[in-house]
Amino acid sequence: MNKRTLLPPLNPRFIFLLSLTVVSSSFGFYLPGLAPVSFCEEKSKGDAEECQLFVNRLDSVESVLPYEYDAFDFCKDTNERRPSENLGQVLFGERIETSPYKFSFKADKACVKVCTKSYDIGSSEDKLKLDFLKKGMELNYQHHWIVDNMPVTWCYIVEDGQKVCNPGFPIGCLVNQEGKPKDACVINADFNKKNTYYVFNHVDITIFYHSGDETNGMHARLVAATLEPQSIKHSNDENPTCEGAPMDIPADFKSNLKVTYTYSVTFKQNDDIRWASRWDYILVSMPHTNIQWFSIMNSLVIVLFLTGMVAMIMLRTLHKDIARYNQMDQEEAQEESGWKQVHGDVFRPPRMGMLLSVFLGQGTQVFIMTFITLFLACMGFLSPANRGALMTCAVVLWVLLGTPAGYVSARLYKTFGGENWKTNVLLTAFLCPGIVFVDFFMMNLILWVEGSSAAVPFGTLVAILALWFGISVPLTFVGAYFGFKKPGIEPPVRTNQIPRQIPQQSFFTKAMPGIIMGGILPFGCIFIQLFFILNSIWSHQMYYMFGFLFLVFIILVITCSEATVLLCYFHLCAEDYHWWWRSFLTSGFTAVYLFVYAVHYFFSKLQIIGAASTILYFGYTLIMVLIFFIFTGTIGFFSCFWFVNKIYSVLKVD
């Protein structure tokens, strides 16, 4: 029977609060909050508990378009059920359903027939189904199977002798017209026919379990699941023996074809693997793991060194200026040039203050959302085992953080002397989210046309709009109400009525060179992590190092702040007091480097082909770049805002 020995699975939005209340009473609470499932034999009936195998969407590194399991005409479960999916799973295109592969705990089976698919040469429908299957093998589409919320992995040995466990396995492979095997066809020398497809129609499944401790009432738990895909042409479709030549499918559909799908399953006891660490063998064996650890540590050392150097230069230079100005009398100070001479213009309201305040409000919302999401992920609550939890948490937090966005935007707009408060709050609520939603909707239209499983259903789009208009927008109005109710931020010095003329600037103190240089250092501290994040999104690798990601996030914030403050100080020393937009764009320009890197990654690392996949890649990349631009720009602006207020208030310049 199936026993829940601990707490039932908790919703990721409530797990943190609930865990605090139950941790004292639940002796075995496991992060990320997923309770283990125990299996035991039904001795009275003589059989064992059923192990349910689920199938997920199929994806490929050569195409951005994932497809449901049923799209490739595989064997279907007669009693198909779909478990409930959270918002994050739907947005990521996960489509989990029950499979026809049925087996019971500790009941080994050999060469069990699942079904036989027949393709008639005279049927145009069968031709379309077979062509789609061939296209999937040509693009190396991968199965993703799940047992007990754990991926069924395909483990193999690479060239250097390292064992790699991939959480997916191919549906088949192709030997091209030149006789060169592609992708998985290299694993078998029998795959040697030119211009031929080989479908993996048989799998040998091995499930490892921890026997548990019957004296304490703890039954067996599954700790690993692996499989070995094979291609077998069964001589007898009714009573297969799982022996014979590979199941080859000619490129030209000239005769009737039958494909029989079979499987074998074996259970093995392994008490060395604990249930809480059952994902370790997948994560440790993933490609580039060792390189990732070394690269991240190397990047952190370099970034910390550069950050310390920037801070040292800034503090020493500024301290020298303040000491020199404090030793001067008023007449000498009037003859002095530099940042003190622009005290009457430094707080002059910027041009397009409305747009700047809107960006800053949205940036505050994104910053708080990112910080909380990464913190929870770092604590383990949003691990890969908790499917879709990361995206669900981010979306829910963004919706609930409309109040600080409206408050910051309204308060700064009032500080800039703005009076059109209705326009301000409407733009804060709709401008940036509207741009993201329009882009997302256009990408979703392409997915709908292509029939991809990643296409968000119409009902989910309505739910997202309901969250936006029903919760986020009203909260933005509430925040704007309190922001406009309070007076604007009072500057420490008075602003002159007549603007001061800005002297001729050198090349390095002009706006564009400073902005371009300002984004280099922040980008330098994230590009290594960015590589692995892009791999997890587009190459379907599992990302789990949230601790390092949170540390890089903190370093990014510090680097953006110090680099922007340093350049702002240099511009003020050159008597250029237009620092409002420049401070935002200096750190925000990191997003431009992010886009350039994404373009480089597309052409150098990915194998994506097809116009639809290319448009989807750059469409989703633009969403990421826009959010990152607002996020980093907000960090730079508030750092400079604090810095400028601090130095002019300390000097008490009248």
Q: Which tokens is 352 given?
A: 């397009």
Indicate if 433 and 483 belong to the same structural domain: yes
Question: SS3 for 431?
Answer: helix
Give whichever of 99-113, 274-288, 377-391 has the largest mean pLDDT: 99-113
- pLDDT tens digits, residue range 398-455? 999 999 999 999 999 998 888 888 999 999 999 999 999 999 999 999 999 998 988 9
Query: Alpha-carbon distance 296 to 531, whole Å?
Result: 11
- Tell me, yes or no, whether 335 lies in a domain: no
- pLDDT tens digits, residue range 457-490? 998 999 999 999 999 999 999 999 999 988 878 8
Looking at residue 643, its pLDDT comes to 84
- Is the pLDDT higher at 39 or at 578? 578
Indicate if 171 and 257 belong to the same structural domain: yes
Looking at residue 216, its pLDDT comes to 57
Looking at residue 325, its pLDDT comes to 63
267, 284, 301 - which closes a domain: 284
Indicate if 50 and 9 belong to the same structural domain: no
- Tell me, yes or no, whether 79 lies in a domain: yes
Count of domains forming the chain: 4
Query: Any bridge partners for residue 103, and if so which?
Result: 51
- Is the pLDDT higher at 155 or at 436? 436
- Domain residues for the domain of 641 are 517-654
Indicate if 572 and 637 belong to the same structural domain: yes
Indicate if 3 and 83 belong to the same structural domain: no
Do 162 and 285 contact (CB within 8 A), yes or no? yes
260, 284, 308 - which closes a domain: 284
Indicate if 169 and 29 belong to the same structural domain: no
Indicate if 57 and 28 belong to the same structural domain: no
- Tell me, yes or no, whether 558 lies in a domain: yes
Looking at residue 608, its pLDDT comes to 86
Q: Work out the number of other CB atoms within 10 angstroms of the CB of residue 611.
A: 8
- Tell me, yes or no, whether 317 lies in a domain: no
- At how many degrees (to 10) do helices 353-379 and 421-450 cross? 60
**Residue 582 CB partners (closer than 8 Å, separation 6+):** 511, 514, 515, 567, 568, 571
Mapped to the 3 state alphabet, what secondary structure does 529-594 carry? HHHHHHHHHHCCCCCCCHHHHHHHHHHHHHHHHHHHHHHHHHHHHCCCCCCHHHHHHHHHCHHHHH
The secondary structure of residue 214, as a DSSP letter, is G
Indicate if 75 and 221 belong to the same structural domain: yes
Do 407 and 479 contact (CB within 8 A), yes or no? yes
Do 363 and 587 contact (CB within 8 A), yes or no? no
Element (H, E) at 4: strand 2-4
Measure Cα distances from 281 to 184, 284, 334, 353 in Å. Answer: 22, 5, 69, 53
Q: Which tokens is 440 given?
A: 């997302």
Indicate if 177 and 82 belong to the same structural domain: yes
Indicate if 454 and 531 belong to the same structural domain: no
The secondary structure of residue 181, as a DSSP letter, is B
Indicate if 154 and 100 belong to the same structural domain: yes
- Tell me, yes or no, whether 654 lies in a domain: yes
446, 474, 490 - which closes a domain: 490
**Residue 37 CB partners (closer than 8 Å, separation 6+):** 2, 3, 4, 148, 221, 222
Q: What pTM value is reported for the model?
A: 0.84
- Tell me, yes or no, whether 194 lies in a domain: yes
Do 356 and 369 contact (CB within 8 A), yes or no? no
The torsion angles phi and psi of 220, rounded to 5 degrees, stand at -65, 150
Query: Alpha-carbon distance 422 to 414, whole Å?
Result: 12
The secondary structure of residue 613, as a DSSP letter, is H
- Tell me, yes or no, whether 312 lies in a domain: no
- Among residues 365, 178, 383, the alpha carbon closest in space to that of 279 is found at 383
Looking at residue 187, its pLDDT comes to 81
Looking at residue 12, its pLDDT comes to 37
- Is the pLDDT higher at 435 or at 295? 435
Query: Alpha-carbon distance 587 to 364, whole Å?
Result: 15
Q: Work out the number of other CB atoms within 10 angstroms of the CB of residue 530.
A: 17
Do 218 and 204 contact (CB within 8 A), yes or no? no
**Residue 64 CB partners (closer than 8 Å, separation 6+):** 538, 608, 612, 613, 616, 617
Indicate if 241 and 112 belong to the same structural domain: yes
- Tell me, yes or no, whether 626 lies in a domain: yes
Q: Are strands 142-143 and 169-170 parallel, antiparallel or unpaired?
A: antiparallel
